[in-house]
Structure 1
Amino acid sequence: MMTDRSLSVVIACYRDAGSVREFYRRLSEILPTVTPRYEIIYVNDASPDNAEAILKELAASDPHLVVVNHTRNFGSQNAFLSGMTVARGDGVVLMDGDLQDPPDLIPDLVNKWLEGNHIVYGVRVKRKESAFRQVAYKVFYRIFSWMARFKVPLDAGDFGLLDRRVVDVLLGEFPERLVFLRGLRAYTGFRHAGVEYVRQPRFDGITTNSLMNNIRWARLAVFSFSQKPLEYISVLAFVAVCLTGAATVFYLAAYCAAYVSGTYAAPPGYMTLLVVTLFLGSVQLVCFSILADYIGHIYDEVKGRPRFIVRDILDNRDPPPGGGIADGTPRNDAGRRI
């Protein structure tokens, strides 16, 4: 036994029915060696397979297992937030349900937590995936770290342990609807540490992260935490104005020289003019797309819709002293009863 502090493990589940039993078995073996006060919170994000039936069966015989069912798929980030609202632990571990992040690493995360770190994240030193994906992820984390206005750990995904203090801050102080947790986690500035590991392939099934989904994730990260793209628009505009001014001076000089020499003719360069026009038009389209992303973010945020809606909760835990947000009553992300 490592500690008597309570620990919650929140698992986002979507198309992970083939991994549920094995994941549950491993956690049920590991967590009692860490603390006697643990709970496993599965957030079924409207998984289209039979994950809900399996979880219902397991929860019926284990009071340590809590199952949160969403009305529809709200995405993994909102699933984590949903699980955090019902978690009671002094520490909360976030994990995807595909077993790519090993439960065996939880004791190492807890060790770092007990050393006084409020945030402990898994650092993916290697992935058992295609070379293209490995390089693409490495490039993304470095671009994101460079773009952000605060220090962001490299190669650190959602898998990690959050102290209760961090969880309360994330739930209570960050009202945005478009959530990128690993960015918010770094933004809080709490003392942190990393634990290196090799990310495994999926235990069952195929990945739900396509190339386009990963591109959307990257855009969400950059446009949620950086204003540098807007600054680059200003730089591009300044460069375009300078080039336009230089071209204007050049053609005026050429016109004057030709007029003085008596050999005036329209300056050649139709293709050059066409290419320059197309180039400037392309730059404008890129700038418009950047602005559109920011405007789209604003549009989603000002609507203020719930980040998730809970259909029901399977919870056989004893009621917490005084009730509260984690009393097992279905709620949305604003804490309102459903």
Structure 2
Amino acid sequence: MLSIILLSYYSADRITLAYQKIKSILDQHSIPYEFLIMDDGSTDDSFKIAQELEKQHANVRAYQLSKNYSAHYSIFAGLELAKGNCAIPIPDDEQLPYSDIVQMYNLWKKGEKIIIPHRAERHDGFITDLFANAYYKIINSLSEVKFPKGGADSFLIDREVIDIMNSRIHAINTSSIMEVLRLGYTPYYYPYERVKGINTESRWTLKKKIRLFKDTFFSSSTWPVKMITNLGLFFAIVAFCLILLYTYVRLFGDPQFWGDIVPGWTSTIVIVSFFSGLILFSLGIIAEYIWRIYEEVKDRPGYIIKKK
């Protein structure tokens, strides 16, 4: 059985249509499935519509998170509730073509544990494409995971992987796709073309995008800490060389080297300003890791599913 996890957020006008389209495709190919609707704290009628759909169809289950946690935490919650032999989270706007679910399901039946769908091409506008491509290049260059061309935010995973995600991964300050890619399994990258004519406004605000980048980057990369160590070592060597140089000049060089009017103030101001900024920047990076450690040791849940 396949578990479809529909990510719902202000989706009142999309839930029923999404279910009907998916039902038509999966029934046509005789694929057994359950349909989980994970409402991410919507305040419109999305959850009510999901509950009505649940009453009408035996394979539909509707749940709502206690507040808006963002899509990746809805995915973690859906995986916790999924009963299928494999599972796939999907958006409610058909950006991932529903027909491709069948192809990925067939790949799973052939033995693939993790299938990562990724867009073959991006055409979201110059600015959006620029930032998206820069994001994935930074993550691929400086972290321990590698995203496919065009990036990815969904997956179809086997029951074995689902159980690992539920039992071994603490769903806080991270993203589901990052944790799937970090497990060590060899993923199958499945390219797809976005459905033409689907132009929906993104519900990922700038604040959410920045948080996702920080969570993804700091949960998968130790490069910033190593950078601080290397910078510290480099400037310690430079400082030691300057000490030797200035000591030699002071003892054996020309006294005029120091100047006649307010000697050394320019170099002092520049050096103090530079290293003050470097120290504060380094402390900020360290604070990001310490804050995440603090959140982990509190052992609070990354999401809360409301009781029915």
What percent of counterpart residues are identical?
Answer: 22
Query: Equivalent residue for 1:257?
Result: 253
Q: 1:208 aligns with which of 203, 206, 211?
A: 203
Kindly state the Cα deviation for residue 87 of structure 1 after the two structures are TM-superposed: 1.4
Distance 1:36 1:264, change over 3 A: closer
Task: Report SS of the residue matched to 1:93.
Answer: strand
Point out where structure 2 has 5 or more consecutive residues left out of the alignment: none
Aligned equivalents of 2:257, 2:123: Cα separation in 1: 72
Query: Equivalent residue for 2:103?
Result: 108
Distance 1:16 1:126, change over 3 A: farther
Query: Equivalent residue for 2:160?
Result: 165
Kindly state the Cα deviation for residue 284 of structure 1 after the two structures are TM-superposed: 1.0
> 1:76-119: per-residue Cα shift (whole Å, max 9, x none)?
22211211122111110111233322212111211221221100
Distance 1:183 1:116, change over 3 A: same
CA contact (8 A) 1:127 1:200 kept: no
Distance 1:197 1:205, change over 3 A: closer
Q: Does 1:49 align with 2:44?
A: yes
Aligned length: 307
Aligned equivalents of 1:99, 1:11: Cα separation in 2: 11
Task: Report SS of the residue matched to 1:127.
Answer: coil
Aligned equivalents of 2:94, 2:257: Cα separation in 1: 80
CA contact (8 A) 1:109 1:160 kept: no
Residue 270 of structure 1 aligns with an amino acid whose one-letter code is W
Distance 1:103 1:237, change over 3 A: same
Query: Equivalent residue for 1:316?
Result: none
Aligned equivalents of 1:168, 1:86: Cα separation in 2: 11
Distance 1:98 1:269, change over 3 A: farther
Q: Does 1:303 align with 2:298?
A: yes
In the TM superposition, 1:97-246 aligns within 5 A as 97-199=92-194, 206-246=201-241
CA contact (8 A) 1:120 1:195 kept: yes
Kindly state the Cα deviation for residue 204 of structure 1 after the two structures are TM-superposed: 7.2
Aligned equivalents of 2:231, 2:72: Cα separation in 1: 34
Moved more, 16-25 or 219-228: 16-25
Q: TM-score scaled to structure 2, two decimals? A: 0.90
Q: 2:68 aligns with which of 64, 73, 77?
A: 73
Distance 1:254 1:26, change over 3 A: same
> 1:162-186: per-residue Cα shift (whole Å, max 9, x none)?
1111101111122353231111111
Distance 1:298 1:154, change over 3 A: farther
CA root-mean-square deviation? 2.5
Deviating beyond 6 angstroms after TM superposition, the runs of 4 or more aligned structure 1 residues are 261-264
Aligned equivalents of 2:294, 2:195: Cα separation in 1: 37
Distance 1:86 1:121, change over 3 A: same
Aligned equivalents of 1:80, 1:72: Cα separation in 2: 14
Kindly state the Cα deviation for residue 203 of structure 1 after the two structures are TM-superposed: 5.1
CA contact (8 A) 1:90 1:163 kept: yes
Query: Equivalent residue for 2:27?
Result: 32
CA contact (8 A) 2:65 2:304 kept: yes
Distance 1:84 1:266, change over 3 A: same
Moved more, 83-92 or 137-146: 137-146
